[in-house]
A and B are shown apart, each in its own frame.
Chain A
């Protein structure tokens, strides 16, 4: 049962022939920028929800999960209290399963308190077509009934294909469809960075 494609799409761009990254990539955010953006989003989440009560952060694998953990740490640093963090795999709910080889699943891990009646903040690295978030909303309804769902993303690169809008954005990044946005996080990669590259994308939109 060979190549199962992992859904940990690190790059967010349209498919093309070359995936070796021969085209030029340039940095958009460095580690300090990412850290500042997350700290600001943490404050915005607290401000919007009038504190950390009932807030649950759910990261979308793979890179949404460490981002959710970092946001939780930032909230804890401000408020001195922990908010529950979890992971929500949306693979089984995607609308493009039939267009690609079967994918391995990522881990879903909901906080012990569940999500019923809570304010769930979905956390992802890049918002592009909005289809991942559509799948996440479907997945969420099968785990419970949150009072409210909000969306935090590190990068919004535009080109939405569905009526979905983020509540908290680290960086609005105007891109062309063929460009590739990569989010690198030390939990998965060697460094913290967001880069944008030419039309050498190897992944479909997330």
Chain B
């Protein structure tokens, strides 16, 4: 049993399938009259958020609460961090309070790794997004959504145990600042999908040639062979400006509008990790269309995060037994 979830690249195909299949069973809990399982009773999950986030924090909170864990939310604003407390001292404080798992979002790439491997805390660390590096639970919920939409039958059966072999996924937009893109490339490759990143040259990271995917500057050329189009948010808060000439030009070349959607195969789906800039990277009509999985992704996020917390926390914490 793994102790932490830091990178989507750490997961083998089997690991990923266990998480996705577990999430598939846990999704049924949302349909029950009592949406709660007793499994993590007496365990404490700390949401340690150094960056603003609504959906990820709420999603982790809902997931932990459905498993009966106690949840402590810690946001850097209004805490001792704004008085200059270091990550180490915050971690030692959480350890002293008996945190069994720390879900961390941090502006610096690698902060969750530091937290997990520094010996400051004994609990599990879950990366909920670090800088421009990784966001593994987002990649898992995206893969879960693809599997349900593309592999399952009309009544949702048949997704369990399947991977995404041979599926073509086109990820479009601000790859440079996107932790979602990196985690998705790593996980989707592990699950057998072929990923193409489409972005203006200024928004592709240095070294992208080494990623297990192909790249393109031309969105129109990729559409007719895509099973999935994933639009990324243009992260204006991480840009000084100057990555593209104007919002209008970006939208015209890389935005997903109804004309482009018409070029997709009939079964293809449109994804977005949120929050969206409607009218910028995705047209409002597309975001609200039947192909769009944006709302499902939020629902699925809770199931996937339940699965991750369950698999990290439910078993023995004794490494002898855990082998």
Give A103 to B2 CA distance when docked, in angstroms.
13
By CB atoms of chain B within 10 A, which of A1, A89, A97, A103 has the most?
A1
Segment at the interface with A among B24-32, B86-94, B278-286:
B24-32
Are B39 and A2 in contact (CB-based, < 8 A)?
A: no
| B21 interfacial by beta-carbon distance below 8 Å | yes
Contact of A138 among B14, B33, B38 (CB under 8 A): B38
CB-defined contacts of A4 to chain B, threshold 8 Å? 1, 18, 311
Contact A142-B26, Cβ < 8 Å, known A4-B1, A4-B18, A97-B315? no
Closest CB of chain A to B183's CB: distance in Å? Answer: 15
B39 touches A101 (CB 8 A): no
Contact with A along B295-323 (1 / 0, CB 8 A): 00000000000000011101111000111
Tell me how far the C-beta of A4 lies from the nearest C-beta in chain B, rounded to whole angstroms. 5
- B260 in the interface (beta carbon within 8 A): no
- Smallest CB separation, A86 vs chain B (Å): 12
- Which of B22, B38, B310, B317 is the most central at the interface, judged by chain A CB atoms within 10 Å of its CB? B38
Q: How many residues of A contact B (CB 8 A)?
A: 23
Looking at the complex, which of A45-53, A104-112, A149-157, A190-198 is the stretch in contact with chain B? A104-112
Cα distance A176–B87 when bound, in Å? 55
Q: Is A159 an interface residue (CB 8 A)?
A: no
CA distance A108 to B29 in the complex (A): 10
CA distance A2 to B34 in the complex (A): 31
A104 touches which of B21, B33, B322 (Cβ 8 Å): B21
Mark each residue of chain B from 15 to 59: 1 if its CB lies under 8 Å from any CB of chain A, else 0. 100110110011010001110111100000000000000000000
| Alpha-carbon gap, A1 to B311, bound state (A) | 8
For A103, the chain B residues whose CB sits under 8 A away are 314-315
Please state if B311 and A107 are interface contacts (CB–CB under 8 Å).
Answer: no
| Total contacts A-B at CB 8 Å | 73
Please determine whether B1 and A102 come into contact, CB atoms closer than 8 angstroms. Answer: yes
Tell me if A163 is interfacial: C-beta within 8 Å of chain B.
no
Q: How far is the CA of A106 from the CA of B161 in the complex (A)?
A: 12
Chain A stretch 86-103: residues in CB contact (< 8 A) with chain B: 89, 92-93, 97-103
CA distance A99 to B321 in the complex (A): 7
Closest Cβ of chain B: how far from A60's Cβ, in Å?
15
Q: Which of A1, A101, A107 contacts B321 (CB 8 A)?
A: A101
CB <8 Å contact, B38 and A93: yes
Contact of B25 among A3, A89, A97, A101 (CB under 8 A): A89
Give the chain B neighbours of A89 by CB distance below 8 A: 25
Contact between chains at A1 and B38 (CB < 8 Å):
no
Q: Closest CB-CB distance, B169 to chain A, in whole Å?
A: 23
Best-buried of A93, A99, A107, A142 by chain B (most CB within 10 Å): A142
- Confirm or deny: A143 has a beta carbon within 8 angstroms of a beta carbon on chain B: yes
Residues from chain A with Cβ under 8 Å of B317 in the complex: 98
Chain B contact residues, majority secondary structure = loop
Q: Which residue on B lies nearest to A6, using beta carbons?
A: B18
- Tell me if A's interface is mostly helix, strand, loop or mixed: loop
Is A174 close to B, CB under 8 A? Answer: no
Measured between beta carbons, the chain B residues less than 8 angstroms from A21 are none
Task: For chain A, residues 105 to 125, give those with C-beta under 8 angstroms from any C-beta of chain B.
Answer: 105-108
Q: Which one of A98, A106, A107, A143 has the greatest number of beta carbons of chain B within 10 Å?
A: A98
* A1-B11, A99-B316 as given contacts; A142 in contact with B32, CB under 8 Å: yes
- Given A99-B316, A99-B321, A143-B32, decide whether A105 and B22 contact each other with a Cβ distance below 8 A: yes
CB of A27 within 8 A of chain B? no
A1-B15, A2-B1, A100-B321 are contacts. A144–B33 as well, Cβ < 8 Å? yes
Q: Which of B173-221 contact A (CB under 8 A)?
A: none
A116 to B317, CA, bound (A): 38
In the complex, chain A residues whose CB is within 8 Å of the CB of B311: 1, 4, 102
Of chain A, the residue at the smallest CB distance from B16 is A1
A100 to B318, CA, bound (A): 9
Q: In the complex, what residues of B have CB within 8 A of residue A92's CB?
A: 37-39, 310
Top 6 closest pairs, chain A to chain B, by CB: A102-B315, A1-B15, A1-B2, A105-B25, A92-B37, A92-B39
Please report B residues at the A interface, Cβ cutoff 8 Å: 1-2, 11-12, 14-15, 18-19, 21-22, 25-26, 28, 32-34, 36-39, 160, 310-312, 314-317, 321-323
- In the complex, besides A1-B1, A108-B28, 12 extra interface pairs with C-beta distance below 8 angstroms are A1-B12, A2-B1, A2-B2, A92-B37, A92-B38, A97-B39, A99-B321, A101-B315, A101-B323, A103-B314, A107-B25, A142-B37
Question: Could you show 9 A-B contacts with beta carbons less than 8 Å apart?
Answer: A2-B2, A2-B14, A4-B1, A101-B315, A101-B321, A101-B323, A102-B310, A102-B311, A105-B21
